[in-house]
Amino acid sequence: MTAAARSEVRQELVSRIPTGYSPWLHLAVPTLVGLAAIAGSLALLRAVKPWQLALVPVFLVAGNAIEWHAHRGLLHRHTRFAGRLYQAHAQHHRVFASEDMAMRDRRELRLVLLPWEAYQIILGVALPITFGLAAAGQPNLAALWVASAAAYVLAYEWTHLVYHLPLGKVARRVPLLAALRHHHAMHHAPQLQRYNLNVTVALWDLVQGTLWQPARRALDTRARVG
């Protein structure tokens, strides 16, 4: 898609955003709820054992794996179960290209932040695990799982938002931010959308072999020719 065509799509999609939409509420409500969930869960901890704390990294890695699978299975494959998410993600890709990642207007937060339906799915995944751990007599693990899950969702939402802010020179001066932003920008190239599916940390991309590397270009080209 040319830059001119993408600009027309952007204008059309922004014009469809309801007049009552508040980008600040869209950002603030999930953030405040997430922070409250973290604070409330940590306040419930009692006599935490080292082995319980040692499971927090496991929970975060599980979040990374879930992020990867959800991105590939729900956002890049049309399913009846998550049709609204697929549509929203498709619009996101139509507006933002690897060479043009920055938002133009604050109302475009609707095209970047998770739709409300995504939070319903997140709760549908997280709550059974929470209740299961509590029912198994592990309230500390249940609380740590909730805190870890909420922290991961916030990390996803805010890092993805940062990638699409007009940071300019700021991003280039922070090496880690620049690397993460470039990783996500590569995913926005039409021919690379099956790569770089992790938005936060590219751990599961590495595990699943979907981490884009320049050497892959030659291998993919040979595979298509063969």
With 80 as the cut, is the pLDDT of residue 159 above it?
yes
Residue ranges of domains in the chain: 3-14+21-225
Query: What does the pLDDT look like over 78-91, one tens digit per residue?
Result: 888 788 899 999 99
| pLDDT for the residue numbered 27 | 97
pLDDT tens profile 101-133 = 999 999 999 999 999 999 999 999 999 999 999
What pLDDT does 222 receive? 45
Which of 41-50, 90-99, 152-161, 167-176 has the lowest average pLDDT? 167-176
pLDDT at 223 over 50: no
pLDDT digits (tens, 9 = 90+) for 20-43: 999 999 999 999 999 999 999 999
- If you search the block for the tokens 């739709």, which residue do you land on? 115
Nearest to 87 by CA among 106, 115, 121, 68: 115
pLDDT of residue 218 exceeding 90, the answer is no
pLDDT at 193 exceeding the cut of 70: yes
Mean pLDDT within 144-159: 97
pLDDT at residue number 81: 79
pLDDT for 221 equals 46
Q: Residue 198 pLDDT > 70, yes or no?
A: yes
